[in-house]
């Protein structure tokens, strides 16, 4: 009967070891998960900043293009006008 009790005790010890290992693995995975969540938040903040910068760049580009178009229209007008049509403010 002693042999049966020793075998049962050994099985419980093995189970305890496995539970301890699983707990430690869980803690490690939980810490890694928290780190990854922080990384994701950092990446999202960086992406938001890049998107905002890109939007500002697009707005500036559109403004510059608008000014260029306006200048080209003026140049077109002056180049198509007769020399005496343009009145100088001098």
Cα–Cα distance list, 85 to 72, 73, 76, 78 (Å): 18, 16, 14, 9
State pLDDT tens for residues 20-74: 999 999 999 999 999 999 999 999 999 999 999 999 999 999 999 999 999 999 9
- Give this prediction's pTM: 0.58
Residue of higher predicted confidence among 77 and 20: 20
Cα(37)–Cα(89) distance, rounded to whole angstroms? 66
* Eight-class DSSP state of 87: P
Buried b (16+ CB within 10 A) or exposed e, 59-84: eeeeeeeeeeeeeeeeeeeeeeeeee
How confident is residue 87, by pLDDT bands cut at 50, 70 and 90? low
Residue 5 has pLDDT above 70, yes or no: yes
pLDDT at residue 28, as a whole number: 98
Q: Domain ranges in the chain?
A: 1-78
């Amino acid at each position: 009967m002693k042999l049966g009790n020793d075998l049962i005790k050994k099985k419980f010890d093995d189970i305890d070891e496995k539970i301890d290992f699983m707990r430690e693995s869980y803690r490690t995975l939980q810490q890694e998960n928290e780190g990854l969540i922080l990384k994701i938040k950092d990446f999202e903040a960086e992406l938001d900043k890049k998107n905002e910068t890109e939007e500002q760049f697009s707005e500036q580009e559109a403004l510059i293009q608008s000014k260029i178009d306006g200048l080209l229209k003026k140049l077109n007008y002056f180049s198509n006008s007769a020399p005496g049509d343009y009145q100088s403010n001098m």
